Amino acid sequence: MSFDSRDPYDAAALYDMWLNCSRCPTTFDFEPGGNIDLDYYHRIGQQARRDRWAVLPARSQGSELIFTVLCPDCALRFGVQGFEGRLDGAEPVIDQICEAMLKVS
């Protein structure tokens, strides 16, 4: 498995650079060093899923995709679960970032 722009966890990791809880100061324990490439975001995204972080994609009014990210504690507190489906349709912003990253790598 490699980076999947339709996977909300991979997409959120890429879009937000890494995952920060939106309700408390918890930051996902990202890996310092190493190559910052699509595999890196994929690893972060999938690790966050295994650790039960919640990623909630939503469309803003300008129909830009935004992600609400909750750490496992907050997800439990608010009783929400991560979005386990796949993002519908191409997300232009994320595809653009992917393309740009593939070009430089």
CA 22, chain centre distance (Å): 13
Region of 23 (left: φ > 0; alpha: ψ -120 to 50; beta: rest) is: alpha
Q: Would you say 98 and 14 are in contact if contact means Cβ atoms under 8 Å apart?
A: yes
- Residue among 11 and 75 whose Cβ is closer to Zn ion: 75
Tell whether residue 38 is a contact of Zn ion (CB under 5 A): no
Question: Which residue, 24 or 66, is less far from Zn ion as judged by CB?
Answer: 24
Told to check if 26 binds Zn ion by CB under 5 A, we report yes
- The candidate with the shortest Cα–Cα distance to 51, out of 23, 24, 25, 19, is 19
The SS3 call for residue 102 is helix
Instruction: Candidates 5-13, 24-32, 41-49, 90-98: pick the segment binding Zn ion (CB under 5 A).
Output: 24-32
Q: Considering the rule CB under 5 A, would residue 22 count as an interface residue with Zn ion?
A: no
Pick the binder of Zn ion from 21, 38, 55, 98 (CB under 5 A). 21
Is residue 58 close enough to count as binding Zn ion by CB under 5 A? no
Q: Which residues lie near Zn ion (CB under 5 A)?
A: 21, 23-24, 26, 71, 74
